[in-house]
Homo-oligomer: A and B are copies of this chain.
Amino acid sequence: MSDENGSTQQIADALRRAIIEQGIGPGTRLPEDTIGERFGVSRTVVRSALTELVAEGLVERRRNRGAIVAEPSWNEARDTFDVRIAVEEIVVKRLAGTLTEDQVAELRAHVSREEKAANKDEVHSIRLAGEFHTMLAQLTGSEVLTKHMRELVSRCCLVLAVFARPHSSECGVSEHRALIDLLVAGDGERAAAAMHNHLGDVAERALILPPKRDERPIGDILSDYASG
């Protein structure tokens, strides 16, 4: 019962969160033994989770040399944002004028949570900002768009971890509010343009700068993400 099948998913989720929330930074080694021991599963499960994250672009594997948290180059960063912007525009165009009262309320409630975390809990703030965009994709009802968005948001978080300096990576709360208003107003083109600018700003703030470098011990960090 407690086991089910999802142990691979759980490990993958935990690692994903650890990467996105910058508990473990780009370039950090991900030894199968250590991770398996930390989470109480065998290497098989960890391996499976890692190949999933490799497919998502969050982890890189080097032949016989183990996995590390991906280190996107500047060009990869820009390209990832470009793709994300394109998908976000699709989402926004579909959503414009279709939101129910409940959905709008849900979105506004989420933005309020973002506002609460702003300038207080950076890690939490990053996650909430990403969730806002994932939430938009979910509201389209499209599994495909949601999956793409989730992965693109993850990769963009990783990109920001590499290139953005602290406090530059936050999606502006006010811009999220403005987006909701445009969606309610129902003008898909203007909403898409706003989304384009919104993310363009985020990318620009981050990608103007040269990469930063950060190295830490890995072992104990993971226990924070063990049972999220």
Fill in one digit per residue for A124-159: 1 if any B CB lies within 8 Å of its CB, else 0: 000000000000000000111101100000000000
Cα distance A144–B78 when bound, in Å? 9
Please give the distance in Å from A221's CB to the nearest CB on chain B.
Answer: 20
Known: A5-B63, A5-B64, A63-B5. A145 touches B83 (CB 8 A): yes
Please give the distance in Å from A123's CB to the nearest CB on chain B.
Answer: 26
Which of chain B's residues have a CB closer than 8 A to the CB of A89?
A: 86
- Copies of the chain in the assembly: 2
Is A176 in contact with chain B by the CB < 8 A criterion? no
Q: For chain A, what secondary structure do more than half of its interface residues adopt (helix, strand, loop), or is it mixed?
A: helix
Nearest opposing residue in chain B for A86, CB measure:
B86
Which of chain B's residues have a CB closer than 8 A to the CB of A75?
A: 142, 144
Please give the distance in Å from A74's CB to the nearest CB on chain B.
Answer: 12
Is A47 in contact with chain B by the CB < 8 A criterion? yes
Contact partner, A51, options B5, B52, B147, Cβ 8 Å:
B52
Fill in one digit per residue for A81-100: 1 if any B CB lies within 8 Å of its CB, else 0: 01100110110000000000
Cα distance A142–B27 when bound, in Å? 21
Which of chain B's residues have a CB closer than 8 A to the CB of A52?
A: 51, 55
Cα distance A82–B88 when bound, in Å? 12
Is A33 in contact with chain B by the CB < 8 A criterion? no
Please give the distance in Å from A125's CB to the nearest CB on chain B.
Answer: 26
Contact partner, A87, options B4, B63, B86, B143, Cβ 8 Å:
B86
Is A76 in contact with chain B by the CB < 8 A criterion? yes
Is A80 in contact with chain B by the CB < 8 A criterion? yes
Fill in one digit per residue for A41-58: 1 if any B CB lies within 8 Å of its CB, else 0: 000000110011001110
Which of chain B's residues have a CB closer than 8 A to the CB of A76?
A: 142-144
Is A79 in contact with chain B by the CB < 8 A criterion? yes
Q: Can you list 8 contacts pairing A with B, beta carbon distance less than 8 Å?
A: A4-B63, A8-B51, A51-B51, A75-B142, A79-B142, A83-B90, A83-B148, A86-B86
